[in-house]
Amino acid sequence: MKVLSQNTAFGGMQGVFAHDSEACKTEMTFAVFVPPQAIKEPRPVLWYLSGLTCTHANVMEKGEYRRMAAELGLIVVCPDTSPRGNEVPDEITNWQMGKGAGFYLDATEAPWAENYQMYSYVTEELPNFLSQHFRMDMDRQGIFGHSMGGHGAMTIALKHPDRFKSCSAFAPIVEPSTADWSAPAFEKYLGADKAAWRQYDACALVADGARFPEFLIDQGKADGFLDNGLRPWLFEEAIKDTDIKLTLRMHERYDHSYYFISTFMDDHLKWHAERLG
C-alpha cells in the first residue's frame, strides 16, 4: 500500500493511499478516515461511493464527515469511481462513460471489460485488502453514496444483505437501466441484452426478489437531474408490496451539489451508527 498523504483530523487520521488492483488491472487510489477509537479496538466501517465525474477526493474535501465520524467512531472508506491510467479506455468528451463513470458494475464488453470491474473491486478486492491494514470490524459494515454512488450503494446492499447492516443514499439513480444518463453506459459496458442490466438496477433487483431491511434517501427538489436521472419515486413504488422500509426525504431548494450532501451528512452518519452498534 502506497501512502500518498496522511493528516490528523478530529483526533483521527485522514489518509489517501494507492495500490495495484488485480480486478481493475491498474493502480487505484482511495481515502480512509480512521477515528481515534480505532487505536484501541476495531471499529465499524462505512463505505462511501461517489458519483459521476468524481474521485475519492470530492467527499473527502467537501463532504464534511470527519467530525461526526470521529465522534461516532466510524471508519469511512472512499474508493475511486473508476479505474484510472493512460492505458484505461475512456470517452474523453462523455462525462457519463469511462473514467469517473464506472457505475460500480463489472463490464463484460470490449474494450471496457479489461479494466472496468468496479463491482468486484468495491465488494471483494478493496475490503479484503483494507481489512489487513486497518482495525476494521468487518461484521459491522454500512454503505452509502451519492448519485451514481447511491445507485452503487443500494444495489450492493440489496445483493449483500448478509454483509451490510445499513444503507443510505443522497440523490441516487434508483433505476439506471431506464434513465437517460445511465442506460447508454449500461449498453456499452454490459451489451444490448437488458436482462444483464438488472443485477445493477435497484428497482429491478427488488422486482427479482432481492431484499434489504431499510433505506434512507435524501433528495433535493431543486436537483436538475431529478426527473430524468434520479426519480426516487420509482424505488418507492418498487418496494410497495415488500417488507423493505424506506425513509425518503424530499428537500425544498436543495440541488445535486456537495452543499446538499454536507448539509445532511451528519444525519446519514448517525443513521448508520445506530444500525452498526
Q: Catalytic positions, please? A: 147, 223, 256
Q: How far apart are CA 171 and CA 222, in angstroms?
A: 11
Buried b / exposed e along 183-213 (16+ C-beta atoms within 10 A): bebbbbbbeeeeebbebbbbbbbbeeebebe
DSSP string, 173-212: -S-TTT-TTTHHHHHHHH-S-GGGGGGG-HHHHHHTT---
Query: What sign results for the dihedral spanned by CA atoms 250, 254, 260, 264?
Result: negative
- Length of the chain (residues): 277
Sign for the pseudo-dihedral over CA of 63, 143, 257, 102: positive
Q: Which residues pair with 75 in a beta bridge?
A: 45
Per-residue cell: 190: 454490459
The whole-angstrom separation of Cα 184 and Cα 191 is: 10
Give the 3-state secondary structure of residue 65. coil
Inter-CA distances, 111 with 87, 91, 116, 117, Å: 11, 11, 9, 12
